[in-house]
A and B are shown apart, each in its own frame.
Chain A
Amino acid sequence: MSIVNVLYKTVLKRPSRFFVVVAVTSLFFERTVDIGIESLYDRINRGKQWKDISSKYE
């Protein structure tokens, strides 16, 4: 049984399950993307943003 079949049987076949899975994965997907991208962005721009230098002036 391919992975797609498993996916179909367990998730997609019943709309009730499907909607629950959509809601839960979007929650985690969004948090992962947000946290991941933000930390990557802060790494690319290390030392340039205000939050990196503000401690010198407070």
Chain B
Amino acid sequence: MTSSTFSFFKAASRWSKNHKFFLTSFGVLAGGGSSIIYALEQSIHASNDAAHVAKQKWNHNGWFDTLDHASVRRGWEVYKNVCAACHSVEYLAYRELVGVCLTENEAKAEAAEQMIEDGPDETGAMFKRPGKLSDLIPKPYPNEEAARYANNGAYPPDLTYITQARIDGENYIFSLLTGYMDPPAGVVLAENQHFNPYFPGGAIGMAQALYDEIIEYEDGTPATQSQCAKDVVTFLKWCAEPEHDTRKLFAMKAFTILGVLNLVVWYLHRHYWSVMKTRKIFQSPKSLFKK
């Protein structure tokens, strides 16, 4: 049996013109589309004057690695004691911290320390009451104008989804928090601006927030600047992707089940083709694909 007698498999030679045209255009469009997306993505990096951020070895980087919840807990301490003075995490509620980095009682106690505006009561007035688990984390400023006014016109963005909202989120924020330096000669900063090579443009409205020993960790971890930055970024990563751990567990299950299904498909494939591959006589149906 030569390959020419096997003409049944040279399917493309029997396709109609339209069929070929359709497949060719589809290929060209798909290939062209991906090249354009790739090219655009590259130019974003090239046009940025910011320093390239280092890739850190986050211990949740692997396909099946959960977040380090001790680090999330320390990160919450850092957020609460440092970042919360300027940045909100306005989509996060106290109850969501339970079972992630706080016990229920701890979360209740922390919520109760905050006075939350509620109401109206029966006289129509708003009143303050201690926070409950269902309350959102209070914001440092009531609105964007107040935030800008307090920060010389710069707006401290909400941090809930910040790791998703920046290219290379975790690495970028880590570099940003630890990357402050004196401006190089020739760079002129406006008043209340600070130099950070990782921030596009270099002049950032946020002063360096993290220093060694800026807080004391309750678990005794030495609170160096990079430790605080790592922990707060891990916390923000959880904040932006609270489903992170479950997602990876499900990935593992999905791969396992798909692996088993793959075996079934492989067997079926052999089964169906065994008829074809063991036969001695071949027909060559001319009219199979063409009218």
Complex interface bits, B210-244 against A, C-beta within 8 A gives 1, otherwise 0: 00000000010000000000000000000000000
Chain B neighbourhood of A29, CB < 8 A: 260
Partner-contacting stretch, out of B30-38, B60-68, B75-83? B60-68
B218 to chain A, nearest CB (A): 9
Chain A neighbourhood of B249, CB < 8 A: 37-38, 41
With A and B bound together, what is the CA distance between A33 and B64 in angstroms? Answer: 16
B256 contacts A50, C-beta separation under 8 Å: no
A50 contacts B252, C-beta separation under 8 Å: no
B66 contacts A54, C-beta separation under 8 Å: no
Residue ID in chain A nearest B257 by CB atoms: A33
A41 contacts B67, C-beta separation under 8 Å: no
Complex interface bits, B102-113 against A, C-beta within 8 A gives 1, otherwise 0: 110010000000
**A44 touching B64 in the complex, CB below 8 Å, given contacts A33-B256, A37-B253, A50-B100:** yes
Chain A contact patch, size range: 10 to 19
- How many inter-chain residue pairs (CB < 8 Å) link A and B? 47
Chain B neighbourhood of A50, CB < 8 A: 69, 99-101
Q: Which A residues between 33 and 50 are near B, CB-CB below 8 angstroms?
A: 33-34, 36-38, 40-41, 44-45, 48-50
A53 contacts B64, C-beta separation under 8 Å: no
**Interface class of chain A by DSSP:** helix
**A37 touching B245 in the complex, CB below 8 Å, given contacts A49-B69, A54-B103:** no
Chain A neighbourhood of B93, CB < 8 A: none
In this complex, which of B66, B99, B248 has the most chain A Cβ atoms within 10 angstroms of its Cβ? Answer: B66
A57 contacts B65, C-beta separation under 8 Å: no
A48 contacts B67, C-beta separation under 8 Å: yes
- Interface assignment of B51: CB less than 8 Å from any CB of chain A: no
With A and B bound together, what is the CA distance between A48 and B70 in angstroms? Answer: 7
With A and B bound together, what is the CA distance between A38 and B246 in angstroms? Answer: 11
- Interface assignment of B59: CB less than 8 Å from any CB of chain A: yes
Chain A neighbourhood of B256, CB < 8 A: 33, 36-37
Could you jot down 14 A-B contacts, CB within 8 Å?
A33-B257, A34-B253, A38-B249, A40-B252, A41-B64, A41-B249, A45-B64, A48-B59, A48-B67, A48-B68, A50-B69, A56-B219, A57-B102, A57-B103
With A and B bound together, what is the CA distance between A37 and B251 in angstroms? Answer: 10
Residue ID in chain A nearest B245 by CB atoms: A49
In this complex, which of A40, A57, A58 has the most chain B Cβ atoms within 10 angstroms of its Cβ? Answer: A57
